[in-house]
Structures are given as C-alpha cells and as structure tokens.
C-alpha cells in the first residue's frame, strides 16, 4: 500500500504588532485520493490513520486510573496506551513500546511499519512525503 503525506508550512502572524511571524506546519495523509489530516508527523497519528483505513474500529476505554484506546477488527484487537510520550501497542501475544517522534523520517516510517506488520497484521506502507506550497 502507498500513502502520500503532504506537508504545508504557512507563516502565521501572532495577531498584534509585538507578536512575531511564526511558521505553522500541517500534515495530511492521502490514500486513494482521500486526504486525512494528521495531528503531526508522529507514530501515533500515522498508525491510527492506517489502521482506520484498513477497517479497524477505534474505541476509547476510560478507567479509574488510566485511559487507553483499543483498535478492533473482527477477532483482532490491539491496545494503545500513551504514557507521557512513551507509546505502548499490545495485542494478545506481543507488546511494543516506542517513542512518538523520531529524528529521521526513515526511522519514523520503519517503526510505524514494524507496529503495523507485527501487531495489526497490516502489510508495510510506502510513505512518500511531499512539500506543498500554501
């Protein structure tokens, strides 16, 4: 499967004379001509977008001491927990803990594909990043 990620950077004014102009970057992932906004170029956002595209349903479980997300599809179930920037994905037989962001896009995409392959049983995704003018 292929996915094109578009990256748009706009210069945004702060709203007053004293506020500087700051860059604002937004990302969207495209599958089959459908663009889905991403919260950022992060493990959590990419895995969620691909899993939902592949038919997984997402449920939020709220407990007394923790909240977590469960991805379900037929008999498959993957639990996702975020502990202060450390992400944990777990199915019935395996558990992976990783960071949400990585210094290089290659490492980010490698980690995302590792989780998708081993826990979700989803084939690897060929991510392509494209800068778009605002």
Question: Domain boundaries in the chain?
Answer: 2-132
- The residue behind tokens 């980690």 is 111
In degrees to the nearest 10, what's the CA dihedral of 105, 111, 116, 117? 120
- CB neighbours of residue 101 within 10 Å: 12
* CA count, 13 A, side-chain hemisphere, 20: 3
The structure's pTM equals 0.88
Q: What is the pLDDT of residues 84-128, one digit of tens each?
A: 879 999 999 999 999 999 999 999 999 999 999 999 999 999 999
The residues, any chain, with a CB within 8 Å of residue 3's CB and separated by 6 or more, are 29, 30, 31, 49, 50, 125, 126, 127, 128
pLDDT digits (tens, 9 = 90+) for 32-62: 888 899 989 999 999 999 999 999 999 999 9
């Amino acid at each position: 499967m292929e996915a094109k990620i578009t990256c748009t950077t706009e210069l945004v004014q702060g709203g007053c004379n004293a506020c500087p102009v700051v860059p604002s970057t937004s990302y969207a992932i495209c599958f089959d001509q459908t663009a889905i906004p991403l919260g950022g170029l992060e493990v959590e956002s990419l895995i969620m977008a691909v899993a939902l595209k592949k038919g997984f349903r997402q449920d939020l479980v709220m407990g007394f001491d923790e909240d977590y997300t469960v991805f379900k599809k037929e008999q498959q179930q993957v639990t996702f927990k975020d502990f202060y920037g450390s992400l944990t994905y777990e199915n019935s037989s395996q558990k992976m803990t990783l960071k949400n962001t990585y210094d290089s896009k290659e490492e980010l995409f490698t980690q995302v594909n590792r989780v998708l392959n081993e826990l979700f049983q989803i084939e690897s995704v060929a991510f392509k990043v494209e800068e778009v003018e605002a």
